[in-house]
Every structure is written in C-alpha cells, then in structure tokens.
Amino acid sequence: MRGAASANSRHVIARGGWPCWNDAAGVITSIRELSLSACRAMHEPLSDSEVDFSIVAPPPPRRRDKPAPATMRRYEDLTTDELNAKLRLVLSGDVEGANMDHLQMAQVLLRTNAKFDTVTFRSSLLFAKQIPDVDPRGKLRFAIRMLQHAREQNLPLNAHVIIHFLALARPCHKVNVILALKRMMLENQALKLPQMRRTDNRDSGHEDDRPFEQMIGNNPIELTMFDSLLRFLLAHKRTRHAADVWKLLRSSTLLGISAGPVVDASLLGSGVWACAVTHDFNEVEWIAKRYSQLNIVPDVRSLHVLAFVCIRNAQFKAAAAKMQWIIQLGYVLHERELRQYLIEAVKQDKHSRTDSDVKESFYERLALLGDVLIKARDLCTTKRDQLRFLRTYFNVLYDGVTDGRLKAHERNMTSVALGVYRHWRIEDSIVSSYMVYIACCAERFDVALQVARKSHRQIHISRKKKEHGTMRGFAYEALATLSAKVDRIDEALNLVFRPDLDEPVNANRAAFVITTFIYIFGQLGRFDVCRKIFDSFSSVYPHHLAVATAYEMALKRERSLSTLTESVEGTWQWRVEGSTDGIPGFDDLPNK
C-alpha cells in the first residue's frame, strides 16, 4: 500500500499536483523530487569558466492541474508576516504553535502565494537545513526552489545566501552551485556586504532588521561559515574562485580593524591561501598587518605562504621580515622559500643592470638573507637539506665575488658569510672552500687561514667517517696568492707541514695541496718557495708524480725566464758594444 502511495506521489509530482498529507512517505518523496528538471545540471561537474546558471533560474509557472488538499488551501493565502511568523515557530521547534510540522511547512513554502521578503528567504534557507528525514540532495533541491522564488521576486543576493548554500552543498559536493551564486553576486556588483534588512514590515522589531555586519559580529558561527566557504573552494581546487570570495569579504567592513573581535586566525589563514594563487603582494601585506594589529599568531603554513608571496614579488625586505617572524615564533625556515629567495635575488640582479627601479642591490639582498640565517634556530627540514642550501648560498656569494658584482662590498660580505659559517658550525669542505676564497678576495688572511685549518682538522677527527677536510683547488690558489702578497707563506704551508700532528697528512691530500701551491708560486715567480716546498715534501713523503710534474713545470718556467733574461741582456749588450766595434747599433740605423 505504501509503495503504491509513493508511486502515486511521484506521479502527482510529475504533473505538478501534491500528495495527500496523510502519506508521510509521499511527502518526503515529493520534497526529494522537487525541481528535478531544474537541478539536473547539478549532477554533472562544471569547469571554472562554465557554470550552469539554469540551477538558479526562475521557476516555470506552477501548474494547477490538480487542486491542493483541503487542509492546505487555507495556507496558500497567508500574508508575508503570517508566513514569517509560522516559519519562526517551526524553526524554534514550536510545532504546536505553528499548527504544522516541518514537512507541512515545506509544502506551504512551495505552494504559498505570499510574497517573499529577505526574512522569508533567509528563514527558508535555514529551514531547508532542518527538514527531517530528507537526504542532503533533497534539502539542496528545496533550497534551490526557494532561491528560484527569490530570483522571481528580484530579492537581492548577497554573501549571506552563500553561507546557507555552503552548508547544503558541502555534503553533496556540489561546487557548481556555490560558483553560480558567487558569480551572480559579482555580476550584480555585490562587492560589499549590504545591510540585511527586511524589505517589508520594517517596524516589526525582528532581529533581522539589524545590519548584517552587526549580526555577524554577534554570531561567530556565521563568520566561521565564511571561513568554511574559502576552505571548501580551496579543497576543491577552485583557487581563483576562493580569491574572488576573499576579495568580496575584504571589500566589506567586516574585516576592518573596528571589527577586530570577529576576525580570527582561521579566517585570515584562509585569506592567505586564497591570495597565494594570485601572488598579490599588497593583499598579503594587508593580511600580515591585520595579524599584528589584532595580536593574532598566524599558523606556520600561513607564515610560509606570506614569505613565499613576498619572494615571488621580489619584495626582499618584506620577505626577510616574514622569515624573521617565523624565527621569532620558533618555526622552521623551510628550504623551499630559502632557495626561491636566492633564485629571485639572482634574477633581479640581472634586471637591476637595466632597470633603475630595482630597490635593493645584489649585496643588500644577500646580506638580508644572511642576517636571517644568523638568527635562525632551525634551518630546513633535514640536515641534508640544510647542507644543500648552505652550499647554494655560499656558491652564490662565490659567484658574486668572482664576477665582480660584490667587489665593492667584499669585506662586508665576508663578515656576513663568516657569521653564517660560524653560527651553523659548518664542517663541509665545499662551504669552507667558498669561505676561504671570499675571505682571500677581501684580503682577510687570518679568516681564510682559520677556516682552512678548521677544514683540515676534520681529516683527523675519525678514520671511520668519510673525510671531507681537503678543500677545492680554487681555495688553495687564493690562499697561496694572498699569503705571498702579505708575506705569510710559511703559515700557509703549515696547512700541510704541521709540526703539531702526530702523523703527517695523507700523502694524496698533501700532494694535492702542494701541487696547487707550487703551481701558484711558480706563476708568481717565487721559485725559491717552489724549491722549499718540493724539498719539504720529498723529505716527508715518497715520490709523487703530480708534485714532481708541477715542480718540473716550475723549473722550466724558471729556465725559460732565465734564458729570456739572458737573451735580453745580451741583446742590449750587443747594442752597446756594436757601435764601438764599428758595427752600427740601433741608434745608428737610418730612419725610413
């Protein structure tokens, strides 16, 4: 019998009529199947650029093929105030006072001839969420019918509508409903939350007569719904739409400083993620200021996004400030934004040579990051990532010194690099090589020698560990060149011939260093030092081909220079003596 009634109800709904109120199953079925044709587009996913507006189009004229039950005809002619009063009673749970239950109230809303006002519209959406024994899709379809009535009567659509539809659409994952409503609001230039006032019966004294911002301020649950809307769109990869929603909220007085108590960390955090996709630096700075002014502590992910957006916009001072903020709150500086900082710093340096609007110099960008690294307590997610980044940072410094971009700031850059090196107690031969080279270019021999000695001491720490004490060749070349310039060659040689060691440095490592030294001193013409180095090496270590080859090249260079010198001296001697022997000298040759 119940199955037959349900079938009959479905048949009646298809024709536009209504089932008997005594058949509860038929009533539930009728609500579930309301506006089925209008909502059919909801079942197919839509792209960001194409949102089906048919789901919120005004409803077709209602058919009256079959009259409503006698028990319901008296409710069709309710006035707007009477309808609102019954809605309030049902929403408050006073079914006896309203003289109807939820299902009957739903039928009244669907069939009433009363004109909807903003109170009716808002209450009907709230009522849709409370209809018992109806699945989420049925509730959403009912809400869409209410929206169609509102559109039919030209009621204003604002962000408050999205609040209710979000709660109804989330269980059904109907993103297109939210996108359609959002786009309608933007097209109607509803960029500011209007006052949610009733259009009729303004003297009734209802709480809905208050401005919408005041209602939000007294009801944080509604504000949470805005936050949920942003998170809902972000979770469904609708980042562009989330950014539009944030702009809608941002343009209202809701997020002003005067409304500070209603703004929480969650809402600002959602705003950060919504703005991250657009890389809007001004918007991100606005959010950062609100965090500070409202004394709200941002979560770590929001802080990293703030820093990353500043970096992508080449706002290095702002990015460094965000990183300092991360450090102050005890969070970890991630390698992702650190590496991106270096990438943007180098990229902007190329633009700065042709663009006079670039604010910071290459040195200032690297120095800003150096100050951040010196103050940081936790750097990168793992030790391996930390070492990789430090190598990259010192490599950028090395490149800047080598190609002359940091030539005017070599001493200051050395101080910054040394601070980073000491703060992180770096024990890596590659970083040490960069540090020695930078110090040598700044003519800070003591610093270079200290770093080189520390690197060499790593060789003797443990035989079981992989040894990285030997630096790169360019570091020894710079050290040898500077030692000759400041006349401290013996101190440089003590890196290998150290009397305080119980056993000498490994022969292969010593040969690498000595070969480099002989090559450099040979180029400088210090052949006496080359002999001294070779004799000292030969007295401690067995014959080594690389050392012998370098020394032989130095001797050839010396002989070549000696031969050239003797040839030049002989030529000049011949010139002087030629004129006395009757042989014309250079001065005696005729001018052509």
Residue 402 sits in the same domain as residue 453 = no
Closest CA to 407 of 371, 438, 365: 438
Could you give the number of structural domains in the chain? Answer: 4
Residues 274 and 319 in one domain: no
Structure confidence at residue 185 (pLDDT): 67
Residue at 402 is within a domain: yes
| Residue 552 domain-assigned (yes or no) | yes
Mark whether 5 and 137 lie in a shared domain: yes
Q: Which helix (H) or strand (E) holds 563?
A: helix 545-578
Is 488 contained in some domain?
yes
| Within a domain: 196 | no
Please report how the helices 136-152 and 118-128 are oriented relative to each other, as an axis angle in degrees rounded to 10: 170
The last residue of a domain, from among 392, 426, 460: 426
In a domain, 370, yes or no: yes
**∠ Cα 364 370 376 (to 5°):** 140
**Model pLDDT, residue 159:** 62
Task: In whole angstroms, give the CA distance from residue 186 to residue 249.
Answer: 12
Residues 364 and 493 in one domain: no
User: Is 540 contained in some domain?
Assistant: yes
pLDDT tens digits, 173-196: 788 887 787 777 666 644 344 443
Same domain, 173 and 214: no
Q: List the CATH number of the domain containing 502.
A: 1.25.40
Is 267 within a domain?
A: yes
Which residues contact residue 202 at a Cβ distance below 8 angstroms, ignoring those fewer than 6 apart?
Answer: 209
What is the extent of the structural domain holding 220? 208-224+236-298
**What is the average pLDDT across 311-331?**
95
- Given a cut of 80, whether residue 460 has pLDDT beyond it is no
Given a cut of 60, is residue 254 above it in pLDDT? no
Q: Tell whether the model's pLDDT for residue 350 goes beyond 80.
A: no
Residues 402 and 487 in one domain: no
Q: pLDDT value at position 29?
A: 44
378 shares a domain with 458: no
- At residue 204, the pLDDT reads 38
Q: What is the mean pLDDT of the chain?
A: 76
Per-residue pLDDT at 104: 86
pLDDT for 416 = 97
Residue 179 and residue 54 in one domain: yes
**Overall average pLDDT of the 541-559 stretch:** 91
Regarding whether 212 and 178 lie in a shared domain, the answer is no
Query: pLDDT confidence of 234, banded at 50, 70, 90?
Result: confident
Between these two residues, 30 and 226, which has the higher pLDDT value? 226
In the structure encoding, which two tokens stand for residue 182, read together? 């959002």
90 and 23 in a common domain: yes
Together in a domain, 280 and 320: no
- 450 and 416 in a common domain: no
Q: Centre a 10 Å sphere on the Cβ of residue 501 and count the other Cβ atoms it contains.
A: 13
In a domain, 74, yes or no: yes
Q: Do 115 and 80 contact (CB within 8 A), yes or no?
A: yes
CA distance 401 to 169: 59
With bands split at pLDDT 50, 70 and 90, how would you rate the model's confidence at 516?
Answer: very high
Name, in order, each residue with C-beta under 8 angstroms of 255's C-beta and a sequence gap of 6 or more: 249, 263, 267, 290
